[in-house]
Amino acid sequence: MNILVTGGAGYIGSHTCIALLEAGHSVIIADNLCNSKREMIGKIMDIADKEVTFYEIDVSSAEAVNIIFENYKVDGIIHFAGLKAVGESVEKPLNYYYNNIVSTMVLAKVCQKYGVNRLVFSSSATVYGNNKVPFVETMDLLPTTNPYGETKAISERILTDIAIANPAYSVSLLRYFNPVGAHESGLIGEAPNGIPNNLMPYVTQVAKGKLEKLRIFGNDYPTVDGTGVRDYIHVVDLAEGHVAALENLTEGVHVYNLGTGKGTSVLELVKAFEEANAIEVPYEIVDRRPGDIASCYADASKAKRELGWTAKRDLLSMCRDAWQFEKKYKE
C-alpha cells in the first residue's frame, strides 16, 4: 500500500516508516520539521535501503495536504504529526488545540475528498486519566490533566463520529503507553530538545554525564517501591504495532492499547538500565511531579487477539538500545 505518514520524521514516525518499508509498503512522509530534522529522512532510507517521498508541509494546511493527494494515490494514512510536550501544552493551549485538532480534521476531510478510507491515529494512554490499572479499551475515558491529553481525547471523538457517519471508513485509534528505546542500528532514536521531560532520555543523559543526577518524582505512591509505575514499550515494537493495525484494518472504529501489559517502577527501570549497560545512574528522590498518576499500564490482550501483535522486546533491550543511541548521538 501507499501510506502517507504524517510526522514521519519524528521519533515514533521514523521507526514506523522503517517497519512499513520492511513490510513492503511505500511511504510518503509529511512533516513540517517543527520537532525533527531533515536528516532523519536520509537515515530512514539508509536503514531500510529503500526510497521514501518527503513533503515538508504543515498538515493543518488543507492546501498543502491536497497537493500530496493530487500527486499520489494514497491508500491509507498514519497520523503521527502533533505537538506532544505536556508542560508546554499548559503554557500554550491554543497552539496545541489548533495544531493537533485542526490537523486531524484536515486529514479526515482530505480523506473524504479523495475517497481514502484507512486511517491510523496516534492516541495516548493519557486518555484513560486516573482509571484503575490495567487500562482496558472499554473503560470510560476520564479527563486528562492538560491540553495535550485533551487534544488526543477530542481527536479520538472526532474520528469516531466521522467513522460512524461513513460506514466505509476504517479507523484505528492506537493508545500508546510509554515508548522508549531506539532502533537497533543506533542511528535513530529519541533526541528531545533541551532538558528531557521523560524518564528514559533523562536517564541516558545522566549516564552520559550531560546531566548530574536523575530526580525521581516521589517515592510515596501506592506502588511496589513507592515510585511511579509505567508500561514502557520498545519503540520498534510500537512501530510494528502500527503495521499490524494498518494491515488488519476493517470498517468501523477500532481502539487498541499498544503496551506490554507490564508495569515497571522508576527504581526498577534505573536498576535495569544499570544492569543492561554496566553503568551507574546517580539519583535523588524529590517531590511528586504535579499531574503524575501512580500507575499506568495496559491490558494488551485486545491487540494480541485481533491484530496478532504483541510486544517482543524486554526492558533490558529497551535500556540497551536507548543507551546505544545516546552514546552515538551528537547534537
Residues of this chain that bind ligand NAD (CB under 6 A): 6-7, 9-13, 30-36, 58-60, 80-84, 99, 103, 122, 124, 176, 179
Helix (H) or strand (E) holding 303: helix 301-307
Amino acid at 11: Y
Own/partner long-range contacts of 83-89 (Cβ < 8 Å, ≥24 apart) = 83/34, 83/35, 83/148, 84/35, 84/148, 85/148, 85/197, 86/146, 86/148, 86/149, 86/197, 86/291, 87/146, 87/197, 89/146, 89/147, 89/148, 89/151
Q: What Å distances lie between residue 43 and 147, 165, 180, 187, 318, CA to CA?
A: 32, 40, 19, 7, 20
Per CB under 6 A, does 282 bind ligand UD1?
Answer: no
Per CB under 6 A, does 124 bind ligand UD1?
Answer: yes
- Site map 182..211 versus ligand UD1, x via CB under 6 A: ---------------xxx--x---------
Applying the rule CB under 6 A, the residues between 72 and 91 that interact with ligand UD1 are 86
Per CB under 6 A, does 301 bind ligand UD1?
Answer: no
Instruction: Give the residue with the Cβ less far from ligand NAD, 280 or 292.
Output: 292
Residue 5, C-alpha cell as written in the block: 505518514
Per CB under 6 A, does 291 bind ligand UD1?
Answer: yes
Instruction: Give the residue with the Cβ less far from ligand UD1, 215 or 304.
Output: 215
Size of site (CB under 6 A) for ligand UD1: 20
Q: How far is the CB of 45 from ligand NAD (least distance, A)?
A: 16
Q: Helices (DSSP H) in 60-219: which residue ranges? A: 62-71, 86-91, 93-97, 103-114, 147-165, 199-208
Residue of minimal CB distance from ligand NAD? 10
Give catalytic residue positions: 148
Residue 82 binds: one of ligand NAD, ligand UD1, none (C-beta under 5 to 8 A by kind): ligand NAD
- Pairing mode, strands 178-180 and 232-234: parallel
Residue of minimal CB distance from ligand UD1? 228
Going by C-alpha positions, the residue among 55, 40, 45 that lies closest to residue 5 is 55
Identify whether the C-beta of residue 206 lies closer than 8 Å to the C-beta of residue 214: yes
Q: How far is the CB of 2 from ligand UD1 (least distance, A)?
A: 29
**Cβ–Cβ contacts within 10 Å for residue 70, how many?**
8
Distance of CA 69 to the CA centre of its chain: 25
Amino acid at 23: A
Amino acid at 243: V
Per CB under 6 A, does 217 bind ligand UD1?
Answer: yes
Instruction: Give the residue with the Cβ less far from ligand UD1, 280 or 292.
Output: 292
Q: Choose which of 228, 241, 259, 263 interacts with ligand UD1 (CB under 6 A).
A: 228
Q: Choose which of 183, 230, 242, 320 interacts with ligand UD1 (CB under 6 A).
A: 230
Residue 164 binds: one of ligand UD1, ligand NAD, none (C-beta under 5 to 8 A by kind): none
Instruction: Give the residue with the Cβ less far from ligand NAD, 31 or 231.
Output: 31
Sign for the CA dihedral angle at 305, 309, 312, 315 comes to negative
- For ligand UD1, the binding residues (CB under 6 A) are 86, 124, 126, 149, 178, 197-199, 202, 214-217, 228, 230, 266, 289, 291-292, 296
